Structure 1
């Protein structure tokens, strides 16, 4: 983000689905088109996108078992490069 950008404030419309965090660290999942809620303690507050919403991940995070690690000896089951794909069908 640039130093001149302004984070969204309570009452503004949500532009991107995701988990948003306010100034006190309270996280809330919001959908596009809804308005940012006011905090019960702070009132009007700024919101920051903490995590994007993905339909294919239950918690919005990649399963750690699928992420290749440096000292992992079984790299066969993991895709560590975009061009490495499973053989399926015609090419």
Structure 2
């Protein structure tokens, strides 16, 4: 088993370590900043919080910076034989 299955998400009243958008067990999203404490849910009380999205300072318009988006390799030609079953055995090897 991996360590990820045994890790616990931060609980309410723990200190936030990373700026970002966090969701609780019921899916309520909350923007939290480093140094704040995770809030308690009014209905659930103490809940676990999971980091869903990092908050970046360079996203002024709400769009991802173009330098961070990976580009597809356009110089690589597609393979001629795309599937092994498409190779026909003609017996003239």
Q: Same fold (TM over 0.5)?
A: yes
Aligned residue pairs, count: 69
Distance apart, 1:60 and its partner CA: 5.6
What residue ranges of structure 1 are gaps of 5+ in the alignment?
67-77, 82-91
Q: Which of the two has higher C-alpha Rg? A: 2
Whichever structure has more helix as a proportion of its residues is 2
What residue ranges of structure 2 are gaps of 5+ in the alignment?
73-93
- With structure 1 as the length reference, what TM-score do the two structures score? 0.65
- With structure 2 as the length reference, what TM-score do the two structures score? 0.64
List structure 1 runs of 4+ shifted beyond 6 angstroms: none
CA RMSD after TM alignment: 2.6
Residue aligning to 1:24: 26
Change (3 A) 1:44 1:79: closer
